[in-house]
Amino acid sequence: MTAVQGTAVDIPTEDGVADAYLAHPGDGRPHPAVLLYQDAFGLRPHLKSMADRLAAAGYTVLVPNVFYRNGRAPVVELPEFIDPEARPEIFRLVGPLMQGLTPDLVERDAGAYLRWLAESPVAADGPVAVTGYCMGARLAVYTAGAHPDRVAAVGGFHGARLATDDPNSPHLAAAHITAEVYFGHADQDPGLPEDQIKRFDDALTAAGVRHRCEVYPGARHGYTQADTSSYSAEADERHWAALLDLLARTF
């Protein structure tokens, strides 16, 4: 297995400094870059382990703390095992953080992350891939729509509220996306009912975006997050297979 180097880095943005985790093969050479967007629970050991797994597969992975305006990670103190049903106060804490991260801020921050990767000696020249989880799936779509010249692939997993009536709904960004898109939806996700799944897929189709959207049977919202009560080992491994396949086609 490829040796992985993981470090904490700071990324200058228009609104301050975003702390982040950077993982890459330890061979000193540049590798294709992946921007990995967190779920609502934020930058924590599990997300770092996901970045390490991607880095071991040959990629340079950047995981920014997208809540940096509210402080450095961990912005919210979390238990080692996250069970929102047992600890409902967790969502009361992270909810305002999510609501404060508006699409315009997401797109502005994405520009900073992408510029940082373009200047990094461990990131290869050329376009990047973006993957996101839960709320991060929405961030990935916004990023691809706002920076089509920089984003060649988008992977989104157990995203919610992807196609709503909101004037800033993620599916409306499809018209600007040039990347290949793969989404793995959770069929036990109240945040993404069947009508939104169809609306999201239809928007990608109408925009001529090369894409595949699949529904993972029996999977709950958060199925990739092994430190939460929503985790599904079977769905998680399906996600890894799909994501690595997407990256192999991209790079």
Domains and CATH numbers, the chain: 4-250 (3.40.50.1820)
Whose CA is closest to 152, among 251, 70, 218, 24? Answer: 251
What does the pLDDT read at residue 84? 75
- β-strand partners of 63: 21
Distance CA 224, CA 238 (A): 10
Residues whose CB is less than 8 angstroms from the CB of residue 208 and which lie 6 or more positions away in sequence, other chains included: none
88 pLDDT more than 80:
no
Distance CA 93, CA 42 (A): 12
The 10 Å Cβ neighbour count of residue 202 is 13
Per-residue pLDDT tens digits for 234-250: 999 999 999 999 999 99
The answer, as to whether pTM is greater than 0.85, is yes
What does the pLDDT read at residue 86? 66
What's the one-letter identity of residue 242? A
73 pLDDT more than 90:
yes
Alpha carbons within 13 A on the beta-carbon side of 165: 0
Per-residue pLDDT tens digits for 140-174: 999 999 999 999 999 999 999 999 999 999 999 99
Give me the mean pLDDT over the 73-86 stretch: 86
Average pLDDT over all residues of the chain: 96
